[in-house]
Structures are given as C-alpha cells and as structure tokens.
A and B are shown apart, each in its own frame.
Chain A
Amino acid sequence: MVNPIPKWVWRRYALLWKKFENKNFTFEQAKKELKFVDGNTLSVMFNELKTAGWIAVNLDQQDSRKRIYNLLTPLKIVESIKHDIKKS
C-alpha cells in the first residue's frame, strides 16, 4: 500500500529520482546528491518514504551495517494509489 507523503519529502524524492531512477543507492550517495540536507533530515526523509511505501530498503550484501535504497517508480506509485482508491 502506498500513502501520500509530505511536500518537503516529495521534493527530495523528485531530486533523487532524477539522479538514481530505479537504481540502488546508499545513504552517502543521497546525501551528496541532496547537498544541503543533513544526516538528521535525511534519516527522517527515508523513514517517511519507507513508511509511505515509496522506497525499498535492503541491507548491503557486502556490509550488512549499510542500507541500500531503491525508489519506487512514479508510475508504480500512481498505479498503486489508483489501486488503493478502487479497493476502498
């Protein structure tokens, strides 16, 4: 199930999507891309995206302390929301 996200998270999702699309990326790569966003904000943002179902989070196979992020495609999000609306 996919839920709406706050506008400030959506803006950052859009920027990350532009850069990574549906490729895997790490916390550090996202931080570099979002330039002015600090670690605290990034953690809260990933948590929002994960809770709302907009991102998949997996452990790195080489180093299980690290997480690998993968964004859901905008199309999938729209379809999923459409599906949820139909169900409800």
Chain B
Amino acid sequence: MILKKVKTEHTDKKTGMVLKRIETSEWETHNHKIAVNNSLFDCEKKRIDNKKPILNSHFQINHIFFNKKKGIWNFDKVAESKAHASRLGRFYFPFQQRNVNQWESLNFQEAEADFQDLITRGLLFVPYHVPINADLETWKKRKEDALTLLNPSQTLVAVFCSRHQRNLFEEVFNYEFEKSKVIGVQCYGLNDDDTLLNLMKIKVRNQILQTGDNAPLLIGLNYEKVLRTFSFVSGNFAYSCFGFDVLSCRQMNMENLPPEVIRKMLSKEIEEIMKYDRVLGGFNHSAEQEFWDGTNITRAFLENVNVTEGLSPYQAIQWANHREQQKDFDVLNDSILETAYDENALLKYIESQKEKWSVFWKTKMPQLARSV
C-alpha cells in the first residue's frame, strides 16, 4: 500500500471541519476514520479464528507499550499486527504510547534512538517523537539527520505531544503541516491549557485548507475513549473537532496493571460496560438507558446480535461501539459535503441531532474561539 496523496475535498467555514480524500495505490477513502487499534485487532484475531468477517477499515494503528518492570518498549506485537495490516492492504502505523511523564523527560537523544529502533522493523511509516521543548531550528536539523537513515520507501512521521511548549508548537507544527504526508499527535485531556491551545492551533491551520489543496493526514492518538468531564461525549468526535482525520484512542497496557485491577476489569458486569449510543453521540451505562428508554439496551444488544461469535461480551460491545461511531462519522462527512450548498448543514446537525455532540460543541468550542 502506497500513500499517494491526501487532497482537500471541502472545508466547512462554520465549523472548520474539513473533508479530505485519501488516495493510495490500493484504495481511496475519506477522512474521519477510526483505526483498528490494539484491542480491536485482538477482536479481529478471534473473529478470524471463528471464520467471521472482520472490520472494513483501511487504517490500523499499533500502540507500543512500555514495560515498566524491564524498563523497555515492548515491540512484540509489531510484527504480527504489521503482517495482518499488510495482508489487508491497510495503512499501518505503530508508535510508542507515552504518558505525560515520559513526554516530559523525552529528549532528542532518546527520540532518535527510538526512531532508529523502528526503522529496522520494515515499516513504511516510521514515527519520530518530537520532544516537547523542541523549537523549529533544532527540529529541522534533527529531522535532516534522521531522513538520511531512511530507505526510499520509508516516510518519517513526526509525532507531537499536545502538551508541547505552547510558544514553540505552532512554528514546528506548521512546518510539518506544509512538508509532510502524515503527522501524529498524542493528545491529552482538554482541561490542560497547553493541550487546548495547541489543538486549536492545529484546527486553525487545518481549516484554512481550500478545495484541491494537498493536505497531511492528521492522526489523533492516545486521547480518552470517553470524555467523562464532558458529559461522556465520544473522544473520537471531540478530537475530530480539532482536525484529526484518523483516530485511535488510548489503549490499556495490561502488563503494567496490578493483578487485582485486571481481575476486576475482566469480571465487569454488563451493567458496568459503557455502550456508544448513536442518538446521544456518546456513551452511557445500562442504568441510564433504563431511565430514558425503559430497557437495558446493552443487555438487549448482547441477546439479539450475532457479533458475539468469537468475542467476549465486553469485546462484542467494543466491536459495536467502533462500528456505530464510524457510521456517525460517515454521516458527519455527508453533512460536511452538504455545506457546499447549505452553509449551516453541519452546524445544525451537530447542535440538534446528538445531545452529547451538541453539549460539547456549545460548551467547549466557544471557549476555544475566545482563546485564539
């Protein structure tokens, strides 16, 4: 799979959301895609074992975890997930999932070593994590050095942290925006000022794209799946509002969790599992479903659909959550296109059709507009 180009198809002036067309040697698709991440890949493996169909997704992202006990990145799953993605002709991107402390301590020496480690694993898109205190001049020099190590089929992908020093971020990010085919951003909570401001800079740069412009593919990584402090809105939707085209939320590293936490997670009752609701545009529990609809939708779902074949109840819900959110993104893309002849189409859709999208948009986006 060769990524040929990413072109701007339409920009909605009211919301700043952009529809892009992604063209590869194998397929063409629009943006706003939720990638197959580690946990969905685990589901897919089980589905394959049970001879069941898998997700119809063009993007697969592997979150590489840090093994705390050994103090090393665990690359074990890279080869397997890469082979799976390659069999399916998917765009494949692995990266080291860093926490805030790891980002704060990251310097160029370590970033370069991690980059070199991944170059040798036969990847087409090789992540280079940009330290949060990097300025443009230093980045240009380091990138130039790094590029000499790649073979012609490989592409360097700068991965930023949303908590990058805010006085340095815009210049480095915009430089990459002009030059790159793909950019990754590891995103943290929206209650953090640096994150909010940097994400807004991304949105502002992205929304000035005009129809026909070449654009980089923006990959949003590592954000929370459910934004609990924002009325349980879907993280995929919330972060797509800042311009991300492909999304992959934070993955749980079981290796670093204490056994009792793992036990508790695996023994979750259906009532404790959050399900995505397309009417809301966010997540809820069974108790809330019963309050509003008089039925336990999560339980009814598990009793009535066939996706459980090969999957645990928790995985079946994860699977369904992915599919439902992707359907909503497809509708969102249609609404972006509609704004070509009805400029309020998308804003109207966000503000009136889905409760949690509407609340997020009305409470968070005006704040952002003021902060620019």
Contact = CB atoms under 8 A, between A and B. Distances in A.
Interface of A: 6-8, 11, 35-36, 38, 40-41, 43-44, 47
Interface in B332-372: 351-356, 358-359, 362-363
Given A7-B353, A8-B280, A36-B288, 12 more contacts: A6-B353, A6-B355, A7-B352, A11-B292, A35-B291, A36-B284, A36-B287, A36-B291, A38-B231, A41-B355, A41-B359, A44-B359
A31 to B, nearest CB: 13
Contacts of B231: 38, 40-41
Interface of B: 230-231, 279-280, 284, 287-288, 291-292, 351-356, 358-359, 362-363
Interface of A is mostly: helix
Contact of A40 (B230, B280, B291, B352): B230
A56 to B, nearest CB: 21
A8 B291 contact: no
A44 B358 contact: yes
Interface of B is mostly: helix
A40 B288 contact: no
Contacts of A36: 284, 287-288, 291-292
A7 B284 CA distance: 18
Given A6-B352, A6-B353, A11-B292, A40 B359 contact: yes
Contacts of B279: 8
A47 B366 CA distance: 14
Nearest to B355: A8
Given A36-B284, A38-B231, A43 B363 contact: yes
A43 B355 CA distance: 12
* Most chain B Cβ neighbours within 10 Å, of A36, A41, A44: A41
A38 B279 CA distance: 17
Of all A-B residue pairs in the complex, the 4 with the closest CB atoms, nearest first, are: A8-B355, A6-B352, A36-B288, A44-B359
